[in-house]
Structure 1
Amino acid sequence: MPPDLRIRVGSRTSPMAVAQAAHVRDLLLKFSENLDVELIGIETSGDRWQGELAELGGKGAFLKEIDRQLVMGAIDVAVHCIKDVPGDVPMPEGTAFAAYLPREDVHDVVLFPAGSPYRSLDELPAGAHVGTSAVRRKAQILRRRPDLQVDRIRGNVNSRILRFDSEHGSEHGFDAMVLALAGLRRIGMEDRAVEVLPLDVMCPPVGAGVIGIQCRTADEGIVELLRLLDDQETRTYVTAERAMLHDLRGHCNSPIAGHCTTTADGRLSLLGMVFSGEGGEFAHVQEWDTLDHAQRLGANVAAALARKGAHRLIAGTAR
């Protein structure tokens, strides 16, 4: 490793994204204190926009400016939440995810305002307002509690929590909010989680809890360095889940969930689910394969979901 290697790490400017980039920097510095690692914040159109993401072309709005800086050489490494990487948009030519960090907790959790008498979604009265940024969460909440009012709340996690706290009790306030536990931990707000939702109640998104590190494939020294951070088990899970997502061709408003794990006997298990926008209909598939066939497993689950009407459900959700 060249002693004067300088690596510019790019990420979004939200507190969570900055924390993730700083974590990657600290991991790199463990390999060599002579590395010069610079963090570069890049504000994306998705961060600036407060309307529906679909109007900007979906989750890719969180990536395209960062991708552009990587391709143009303004940064050397990009740090992303894999759950925000679209499955229907190809990666920029000449780039790849050289490393996936070990997967964090994939559970979603419920937050309640200070002084709330409620401790779970099941305790909320009919008509209570629940905030979430994900159509996947909305569909699964309404599948369990169709009597609740589930509304969109946009912004980074910090701004969502600030709005949640400030608006409680107002005409447009929320009685509860659902967020990812891993995200709360990254910003030091895990204590706000009141109820941890079981996976059979809230199936996570594809790539949940995974930080991916992207670079230019031509930068062989950086590729080799990042590979030291790569977690093979997580890469296998992401491969299966994203193969399913890619074959389903879902857009940013598609309520698609997927979770890959390893069984006690050492096989891969992939659960895939596709919902209607309000959760009234859903397709559910779970299949198994060997560890070396993650891509095939994802394709098989996608095909099985398609036979159960997944494409009709996806087409029925507005872009």
Structure 2
Amino acid sequence: MYEPDALDLCLLQALQLDGRAPFRRIAEVLGVSDQTIARRFRRLRGEARLRVVGVADRSRLGRTNWIVRLRCAPDAAEPLADALARRPDTSYIGLMSGGTEVMCTMKPRSRQDRDDLLLDRIPRTRRVTSIDACCVLSHFYGAPLGWLNKIDALTPEQEAALRPDPPGAVDGPVAPDALDEALLEVLGRDGRASATELAAATGQTESAVKRRVRRLRASGLLVFYIECDHEQLGHGTVAVLWLKVAPSRLRSVGRTLAGHREVRFAAATSGQANVMVSVLCRTTEELFAYLADRVGAMDGVQAIETLPTLREVKALTYVTPR
């Protein structure tokens, strides 16, 4: 197994802070050469399947995500997960323990798209036995791999030097035009695509696409995340927790979960289990200790359902290789 060293971890956290940070800037902050950073980046791409992706913050678009739990016959779960992963309107697919449940995050572009998916297409899918669709009401923490912000590889001074300016306040949803959408499509495949590549894909000049990318980032619409093989980083135990939390404690529980090193995603959802948490641990023993000693001890947590993940089929925009 590939084992990243301290410099690799610093580079990963630097990219989590700013996915488009020039290698020159990262190298200067870390005290190494540009060539060293470029070489490490290429190695992480090969060994740990590192990807930088630029995606639209759907809350800035006024759109809602849905987390869907699909239960089906054992021999139907994996083909269903693979088929859902190929859809552009899904951003996370997990094959859960037992092999009979597929968990899927869906991002419909409109109410009609949502109804077509949840009320028509999925219910008519063969061998699906039950469907639970939960609306994401509020995010407490991050995208699927936001946990790289918590690995503490960088010093506070290095973090401050690499952290980009925060987006400005925006009143109401942002409305991207056709050229913005074209840029987002390219950046969704490669968040570090050069200005030359972006210009070629959109038919604009390099200066024009640079201005648009700056504007999209400043508005908060365009955000960058890191995808990588967390098992290569020593975190081989993945699980989803469904918590039933007293409504009066939702905010405080969410804030506490967001600060846990194990948590890479947490959100309040509709449904009886009203908080969904995705966690990464090194071992099953570590997962047990986290559940028993930390989550179970939180004031307001009334029940916990724990679902280990057998295979992550898709994260954000990339289908994960088997």
* Pairwise same-fold verdict (TM > 0.5): no
What TM-score does the superposition give when structure 2 sets the normalisation length?
A: 0.29
What TM-score does the superposition give when structure 1 sets the normalisation length?
A: 0.29
Structure with a larger share of its residues in strand? 2
